[in-house]
Chains A and B, each alone.
Chain A
Amino acid sequence: MPKIEVKNLSKSFGDNQVLKDIDLSIEEGEVICVIGPSGSGKSTMLRCLNQLEDATGGTIIIDGNEITDPDGDIDLYRRNIGMVFQQFNLFPHMTVRENITLAPVTLKIMNQDEANKVADELLERVGLSEKADAVPAELSGGQQQRVAIARALAMHPDVMLFDEPTSALDPEMVGEVLNVMKQLAEEGMTMVVVTHEMGFAREVADRVIFIDGGYIVEEGTPEEVFKNPQNERTQNFLNMVL
């Protein structure tokens, strides 16, 4: 059974249909990079995967749970789906450690001591051990985004969603975030990454998806999509960004 199964997904904002008939199947441990022009619907598709945007039509099944079921417990499903945002969205009134431990402690998955230990381990993993007691405002963008990754990982999710995680960063900080993501991919995390970082997509992705106008226009290995794109729109897009 695939880890993520998307069938006939559509999404409209009023009369504006931004996603049309998206079908997608993702295996456990796969890293999918989603590329496409801005306004193509790629971020909306990602946000549908944990229902930050509720789908207008179609079904999404993650780990056997139907995320799109209106009677399902979406809060429970979301525990298993980590998300990293373009703007980091760290909680500014909490320290780094509190950011990471908030969800597991509030949801009574761990007590504060256990969560603190997990936070320390995760901070070591993302190379920020010394920042546990700092508040987000004291960190650089790259550091904040690494904390955001650690925060998502504290819930031990099976799937991680990344919504343009490096787009708000100064160029010199992109690498440190991509390295953490790369390491995560190597450890076998199932990842869906909306990104403009073609180098990362080429190197880390198992599969690249090109979205334009609300449709999946092209899909394949990085080799196939970058070296030999079949669709004219993909070719035009790649000509502009590469």
Chain B
Amino acid sequence: MNIFELFAQSFPRLMSGLGVTLSTTLISLAIAAVLGLLFGLMLVSPNKVFRGIAHVYVDLIRGTPIIVQAFFIYFGIPNATGMRLTAITAGVITLCLNAGAYSAEIVRGGIQSVPKGQMEAARSLGLSYGAAMRKVILPQAVRIMVPSLVNQCIITLKDSSILSVIGLTELTQTGRLIIANNFESFKMWIIVAIMYFIPIMILTKLSQWVERKLKIAKN
């Protein structure tokens, strides 16, 4: 069987795997965006307690492998609480906590790259800290953050393959299951790789386009 026949034959299962990969990634990224903004703002907060909480979160996630986090959430938490999670729920929690921590660092970096004088000028006019952040700092920070955030989306999409270890039938796990039946390891992994590669290339091109747009808007 050549690679095209193989692809045609496994097409429904592969598409369902890709669907799980993309939807898990998208939901995780949506939650991660909220977490990233929230904890990113906390990382630059004048309030010590907020900063402390955010640092603990970011350090815990960055300091442990994602595979350990996935095992902990899928097996560890039910073991301690008796509350069972589905693989997809555990997967989404793992991915969004992970992407959220890295995004928080990106948000912090973006905010801190805006010159200090911008906040001072806004505050000197009587704007509150929050209003200055919203109207003056964040709009400038976002432009700086876009390339890193898109990069984080790509990393999260690829990291979702790790969720195969908790039995989530996303694209990688689907590939393994198909190979278990037909032993076509060489061709199948090429097919799986291409199916990751295409959405990632689309994302990359999209980010380059957005970056160009932002540059034009700035000049």
Q: Annotate B105-121 by CB proximity to A: 1 below 8 A, 0 otherwise.
A: 00000000001011011
Residues of chain A lying within 8 A (CB to CB) of residue B127: 75, 102-103, 106-107
Complex Cα–Cα for A106 and B136 (A): 11
Give, as a whole number of angstroms, the nearest-CB distance from B126 to chain A.
Answer: 4
Partner of B117, one of A50, A75, A89, A152: A89
Question: Given A102-B135, A106-B135, A137-B219, does the pair A89, B118 have CB atoms closer than 8 Å?
Answer: yes
Residues of chain A lying within 8 A (CB to CB) of residue B128: 75
Complex Cα–Cα for A85 and B124 (A): 10
Chain B CB within 8 A of A81 CB: yes
Residues of chain A lying within 8 A (CB to CB) of residue B131: 106
Question: Given A102-B135, A106-B135, A137-B219, does the pair A89, B123 have CB atoms closer than 8 Å?
Answer: no
A80, closest chain B residue (CB): B126
Complex Cα–Cα for A82 and B125 (A): 7
Give, as a whole number of angstroms, the nearest-CB distance from B208 to chain A.
Answer: 21
Chain A CB within 8 A of B139 CB: yes
Residues of chain A lying within 8 A (CB to CB) of residue B207: none
Q: A103 near B125 (CB under 8 angstroms)?
A: yes
Chain B CB within 8 A of A139 CB: no
Residues of chain B lying within 8 A (CB to CB) of residue A155: 125-126
Q: A93 near B117 (CB under 8 angstroms)?
A: no
Chain A CB within 8 A of B161 CB: no
Chain A CB within 8 A of B152 CB: no
Give, as a whole number of angstroms, the nearest-CB distance from A80 to chain B.
Answer: 8
Q: A75 near B124 (CB under 8 angstroms)?
A: no
Chain A CB within 8 A of B140 CB: yes
Q: A76 near B117 (CB under 8 angstroms)?
A: no
Q: A92 near B126 (CB under 8 angstroms)?
A: no
Chain B CB within 8 A of A91 CB: yes
Chain B CB within 8 A of A78 CB: yes
Q: A89 near B126 (CB under 8 angstroms)?
A: no
Partner of B125, one of A87, A92, A137, A152: A152
Complex Cα–Cα for A82 and B122 (A): 11
| Most chain B CB inside 10 Å of its own CB: which residue of A78, A82, A89, A155 | A89
Question: Given A75-B128, A103-B127, does the pair A91, B118 have CB atoms closer than 8 Å?
Answer: yes
B118, closest chain A residue (CB): A89
Residues of chain A lying within 8 A (CB to CB) of residue B143: 93
Residues of chain A lying within 8 A (CB to CB) of residue B218: 92-93, 137
Partner of A91, one of B121, B124, B219: B121
Q: Annotate B189-217 by CB proximity to A: 1 below 8 A, 0 otherwise.
A: 00000000000000000000000000000
Chain B CB within 8 A of A97 CB: no
Q: A93 near B126 (CB under 8 angstroms)?
A: no
Residues of chain A lying within 8 A (CB to CB) of residue B135: 102, 106
Considering only residues 70-90 of chain B, those with a C-beta below 8 Å from chain A are none
Chain B CB within 8 A of A151 CB: yes
Question: Given A106-B131, A106-B135, does the pair A76, B126 have CB atoms closer than 8 Å?
Answer: yes
Residues of chain B lying within 8 A (CB to CB) of residue A87: 115, 117
Complex Cα–Cα for A150 and B119 (A): 18
Give, as a whole number of angstroms, the nearest-CB distance from A204 to chain B.
Answer: 22
| Most chain A CB inside 10 Å of its own CB: which residue of B124, B140, B218 | B124
A51, closest chain B residue (CB): B123
Considering only residues 59-87 of chain A, those with a C-beta below 8 Å from chain B are 75-76, 78-79, 81-83, 85, 87
Considering only residues 158-174 of chain A, those with a C-beta below 8 Å from chain B are none
A86, closest chain B residue (CB): B117
Partner-B contacts on A (CB < 8 A): 50, 52, 75-76, 78-79, 81-83, 85, 87, 89-93, 102-103, 106-107, 137, 148, 151-152, 155
A-B contact pairs, 18 of them (CB 8 A): A52-B120, A75-B126, A75-B128, A78-B124, A78-B126, A81-B124, A85-B120, A87-B117, A89-B121, A91-B136, A93-B139, A93-B143, A93-B218, A103-B126, A106-B127, A106-B131, A106-B135, A107-B126
Partner-A contacts on B (CB < 8 A): 115, 117-118, 120-128, 131, 135-136, 139-140, 143, 218-219
Top 10 nearest A-B pairs by Cβ distance? A79-B126, A89-B121, A103-B125, A89-B117, A83-B124, A78-B126, A75-B128, A93-B139, A75-B126, A87-B117
Name 4 extra pairs, CB < 8 A, besides A52-B123, A83-B124: A75-B127, A89-B115, A89-B121, A151-B125
